[in-house]
Amino acid sequence: MKLWQKDKASLKEVEKFTVGKDREMDLLLAPFDVLGNMAHAEMLATIGLLANKEKDALLNELKNIYEQIRNSKFEIRDSIEDVHSQIEFLLTEKLGDTGKKIHSARSRNDQVLVDIKLFLRSELEKLVNNIQPFFQLLIQQSEKYKQHLLPGYTHLQLAMPSSFGLWFGAYAESLVDDVTTLQAAYKVVNKNPLGSAAGYGSSFPINRTLTTKLLGFADLNYNVVYAQMGRGKAERITAQALANVADTLAKLSMDMCLYLNQNFDFVAFPAELTTGSSIMPHKKNPDVFELIRSHCNRIKALPNEITMMTTNLPSGYHRDLQLLKEHLFPAFETLNTCIEMATLMLSNIAVKENIMTDEKYKYAFSVEEVNKLVLQGMPFRDAYKKVGLEIEAGKFDYSTQINHTHEGTIGNLCNDKIEAMMQQNLAEFGFDEVHTAIDKLLS
């Protein structure tokens, strides 16, 4: 069954190619398609396109379908094109002509747009909720290991003293900015496109403000042409936000691969969290971090993929947009899994003590010695030259005692400030308002 079919069917080859993986991706949209149908039915009754009795019958049956989906008893038949057709077929099969009325005053274009926006909104919330415990772990580990010094590097060359407190805290604050971009994506997707129909509105006197409220959207996509143009853009903005989180995880994972290396030997993990070699009995490989790095680097390519797939598309709907789902949707599960695995690994990390007492790191303290001379009154350039000459002459003397006190440094991590920024970000999403609206719609 196809919503657009009249008296002639497509060739099987054409049907197979155009449907592609849509049924598979559409199963993820199924609960949101039901919600969109419910809001649409409520609205149709207010403008006289559905009798209240018909509306009630549709809502009851849609709730039944919603329960089927939640209990994994819903499927899209091979003979049916997509999730929208499947749900309309079930309604018509059960309710006859009443089921056929559900499509009044909309197009499959705005129907799928609503589904995608609701799906992305839900997945962004799940991701943000998954980031929170990982963020808290980073803060906790930062405090726990704030006295453990660590060599800092620039150009992969020994630079200055750092600490594991700084290292963990750096990635915590990186997540703050990542959540800021997730919030921006959330604001973009949390606008209602329903009622834009095929992209040019409808002659029916529909109430788009009502469906916006019923579905818990923060606002409308007002211009009906832009509502359609926003497809692809919303996905690209969301993908960029995911890529930012992925970038944080990929960089963290690369650090861990280096720090576990025997030539660094800064950290260790239990044997059960590493893998071995088929011929080298001493190996403890950081495969988890290597796979996180690779998965996340692939997600970092996602915004560019979506950009290229939507390049040079004029306004209006185009079938190219269908393919975005199979690129973007799986990325949420992949990224969530990477966060969970990184959380598992860093929960079980063992940080080596007294790393910086090894003489091979002595030149990391050269700036400390320069600064001591400056504090005694010597001009910085003279102090820099003096210490440099001592190093070249093999006469460099140093102390491993450091005293960094300014904001955000070894002795003053400012983790409380970083936590406050994260809490402010989280409070601005407004998840509770969405839950209230959806719960009321389903009640």
Amino acid identity of residue 62, one-letter, is L
111-164 confidence digits (pLDDT tens)? 999 999 999 999 999 999 999 999 999 999 999 999 999 999 999 999 999 999
The range of the structural domain enclosing residue 54 comes to 12-103
Domain-embedded: residue 54: yes
- Find the DSSP H helices in 301-379: 302-309, 324-347, 366-375
- The structure's pTM equals 0.93
Cα separation, 441 vs 211, whole angstroms: 10
Domain-embedded: residue 383: no
Using only C-alpha atoms, what is the Rg of the chain?
28
- Point out the domain boundary residue: 324, 354, 384: 354
Distances (CA, A) of 304 to 47, 84, 185, 313, 314: 43, 29, 16, 15, 18
Count how many domains the chain has: 2
Same domain, yes or no: 51 and 176 = no
CATH of the domain at 229: 1.20.200.10
Same domain, yes or no: 191 and 338 = yes
| DSSP class per residue in 159-198 | EEEEEHHHHHHHHHHHHHHHHHHHHHHHHHHSEE-TT-TT
Same domain, yes or no: 341 and 248 = yes
Are the beta carbons of 250 and 256 closer than 8 angstroms? Answer: no
**Token digits of residue 426:** 């989280």
**Token digits of residue 182:** 């997730």
- Point out the domain boundary residue: 292, 322, 354: 354
Torsion of CA 83, 84, 86, 92, to 10 degrees: 160
Residue 284 pLDDT greater than 90, yes or no: no
Residue among 71, 74, 64 nearest 27 (CA) = 74
**Token digits of residue 235:** 């996905």
Domain-embedded: residue 210: no
Domain-embedded: residue 149: no
Same domain, yes or no: 82 and 187 = no
- Pairing verdict, β 219-220 and 191-192: parallel
Residue among 51, 136, 110, 201 nearest 423 (CA) = 136
Mean pLDDT value of segment 63-72: 96
Give Cβ neighbours of residue 156 (< 8 Å, ≥ 6 apart): none
Domain-embedded: residue 361: no
Same domain, yes or no: 50 and 130 = no
Same domain, yes or no: 185 and 52 = no
10-62 confidence digits (pLDDT tens)? 577 887 777 777 778 899 999 999 999 999 999 999 999 999 999 999 999 99
Same domain, yes or no: 177 and 134 = yes
Same domain, yes or no: 98 and 121 = no
Cα-based angle 234, 237, 238 (whole degrees, multiple of 5): 85
Residue 5 pLDDT greater than 70, yes or no: no
Cα separation, 296 vs 305, whole angstroms: 14
Four-residue CA torsion sign, 298, 304, 308, 309: positive
CATH of the domain at 38: 1.10.275.10
Domain-embedded: residue 207: no
Same domain, yes or no: 244 and 304 = yes
152: part of which helix (H) or strand (E)?
A: strand 149-154
Same domain, yes or no: 49 and 127 = no
The region of weakest confidence among 19-23, 76-80, 310-314 is: 19-23
Domain-embedded: residue 255: yes
Same domain, yes or no: 73 and 19 = yes
Q: Establish how many alpha carbons lie within 13 A of residue 382's alpha carbon, considering only the half-sphere containing its beta carbon.
A: 7
Same domain, yes or no: 86 and 191 = no
Mean pLDDT value of segment 176-195: 98
Domain-embedded: residue 148: no
Q: Residue 138: phi, psi to the nearest 5?
A: -60, -40
Cα separation, 8 vs 28, whole angstroms: 30
Mean pLDDT of the chain: 94
Cα separation, 161 vs 90, whole angstroms: 66
Neighbouring C-beta atoms of residue 272, cutoff 10 Å: 7
Residue 9 pLDDT greater than 90, yes or no: no
- Point out the domain boundary residue: 354, 377, 403: 354
